[in-house]
Structure 1
Amino acid sequence: MKLRPYAFKADPMYAYMEKLSVDLNVTLHNDITLKLPPEKGSGFIKNIFLEDDFCIRYYHFHLNQSMPFHWCYDTEADELLYKLMFTCGSTPVAMDKNLDSPDPQSFTQNSSVLYPVDSETVQIIPANIRITRIALMFTKEWLEQNFPDASYKITEIVDLLGKKHRPSFIPARMGYSYYATVNEMAKEMDNDIFPVIHIKTKSLVLLNEFLNKVVETSEANSFDQKSLYSETIIKVEQRLQKFLLTSMPSIAQLSAEFNMSPSTLQRHFKIIYGKNIYHYYLEQKLAIGKELIASKKKTISEVAYILGYHKINSFSKVFKKYFGVLPKDINALNKINAKK
C-alpha cells in the first residue's frame, strides 16, 4: 500500500507509516487513520493535514508485543523539518481510566520538546504501555514565514548544539494550563469526526506559546547547559512520576541510581525544570490532587490518602500554599473563573 505525503515532500511519516502498515498488516481508515488490529494491540495513529508544510500527528495506542519504532528521514530532500512533541502519558494498559490510580505522567510539566528531524532513529515501543502523544510537524520554510524571530533563534540553538556535539533538541517547561489544552486536543481527536479548525487553532496557540518561551531565553548557551545532562535528568523526572502517589525517594537514592553526585543532580535538575527536585515533585503531586478534587469523583479525605497524606490538615495546608485556596474551596473558585 502506498501512502501519499500529507504535508511535505520529506515527510518521515510517509516512509514510517508505509512500513508500519506492512508490518502490522493494516490499512488506512478514512485516509488519515492507521488503526491497529486486535491481534496486534489497540488504538491508532492519525495524520491530519492543517495547511501546506504544517500537519499534526496523534498517537494513541498500545501493542501486545514490543516492536521497533523506525523513524525514517529522506536525506536527499532539501528540506529541514521540525517536530514539537507533547507527551500526554505512557501508562500500563491495566491502569487506563482507573481513578484510584490516576496517570501521574498526564500531569507532568516536562512534556514539550522541539527538535529537527534530520536523521533516522530506532526506538523500542514496549508492550502493554498506552502511548499518547501529539506531534506538530512543520518545515523550516513554514517556520520562517510564520514565526521569523523564533526561526532565527531555533537555528542558532540547533547550530550551537551541533557544533558542541550535543543532542539537537530544545525542551521547554510549560504551565499546567498549557497541557490542559494539549489534553483537550487529544480528547477531540479520539473521535472519528471532529472539527479540524479547533485542532488547528489550538495547535497554533500551543506552538506560539512554546516558541515565545524559546525566544525569551536570552542565551542560546542555556540550551547547551540543558542538553549536557538532559537525557539523564529526564529519566530522573520520569522516575519521580512513579512516586507521586507514595513518598519521594531521597536525593541520595536518586543520585546513586543515576550515577550522579547529589550536587550535580540537583543543579542540573533545576537548570532543566526551573526549580529544585522537591518543589517540582510536590507541585506535580498536588496537581493530581487538584484534578481529582475538581472531578468530584473523590472526597478530599480520599484524595489526601491517595497522595500519601495521613492527616487531612497537612494536605490542606500544603494545598493552600501552592494554590491559594483550601481544597474544599477549589470547585467554587473554578466556577468563578469559568464566569470571567
Structure 2
Amino acid sequence: MHKLLTAYQKLRGASTQPDAAIFFKELARIFNTDPVNNTISLPVNEGSGIIKLTDTNNGLHVMAWDLQVNGVRQFKKLPLRPATGRFFTIIASLSPKHFQVRKKEGTVLPDMIFMAGEHPLFYTFLPGHKIKALVINISAEWVFREFRDADPDLLFQAHDLFYDKKPLLFTEEASFTMHHSLGDMQDLMSRERIDPFYARTKTLSILHDIFRRLLTIQSHDNKESNIQLHAKMLAVEKILDEYLDKNLPSIKEIAKQVALSESTLKRNFKKVYGISIYEFYLRKKMQLARHLLDQQPISVKEVAYMLGYEKTSNFITMFKKHYDFSPGALRKKFSLD
C-alpha cells in the first residue's frame, strides 16, 4: 500500500491534466472541420452528427460519438487520447456493425476495448447507420484518487497496469451490466448540461467491472501457470533421483532438459521446495545413504561408493553435516541390533 500512496503523491505533483483540446483538434482535422466549444460537427460532405469532448472531472475525459458518415472512412490511427501523461483508454462501440476497430489488419475486435499504453489500431466507419461510441480517457491520478477506498486488489491491479512497461490491450464483449453503464454514459454526454458526479459514478462502475475481469483472468492464468510449473519441478526431482548414485549434471543442463532458463529454474525450484536444487539433491542423497546404512548389512565405504563418492572421507563429512552424527555410528548401531 505504501508503494501505491507514493505513486499517487508523485502524480499529484505532476501535470496530469494534459491539453485535451489538442488531440480533439487533431481529430476534427481528420473530418475537415474545426471544433467549437469542444464539439465537432461533421460537415455536410462528410456526414452528419457530432463528436463531443467533456472533461467531466480532473483527469477524466469522455468523447461521445453520435454521427453518420456518407461513405466508408478508414483510419490507421485516430487521436483518441492525449499525447502525454499516463492514461487508461476505454473504447466502446455501441453500434459495432458500423464502427469497427481492428488490431493491424486482423479481425474486428469486440465492442469493448481497454488499453494501457499505445497500440496500432485500425478504425473503420461504415455508412448507412447512426454510429454511437464512447472513448474514455482516465489518468493515473484520477484512478488512484477515486480508488483509494476500493478493494486493495483492484488498486494494486491499477498500479501494476499503469507501471508495467508492456502495453496492455484487453478486448471483450461488454457484459449486460457494462453495456447498460456505457449506454447511460452515452445518454449523459448527449445532454446540454452534464452531471460530473454521475459521470464519475458510471466510470467507476465500468472500471470496476474491467479490473474484476482482469483479476479473474490473471487468477486463471496463474493457476494454469502453477500447474505447468509444478509439473516441471516434478520432472526436475525425477532427474535428481536418477543421479543420486553419481555426480549431478550442471544446473544449466538440467534446465535445458525441462525447457527452462537456468535463472527461471533456480528461482522457481526454490519457490516450490524452499531450498536450492543442490541442497535438495544432497538432502535426498543423504536420506538414501541413511536408509542403506540402516537397512542393509554393508559398510560405510560401500555406501560411499554406491552414491558416487570417490573418497569415503568426503561422504562421511557430508553425512555428519546433515545428521550431526557419523555414518559409522549408525553402522555400529545396526551391528549391535
TM-score band, normalised by shorter chain: 0.3 to 0.5
Scaled by the length of structure 2, the TM-score of the pair is 0.47
Scaled by the length of structure 1, the TM-score of the pair is 0.46
State the structure with more CA Rg. Answer: 2
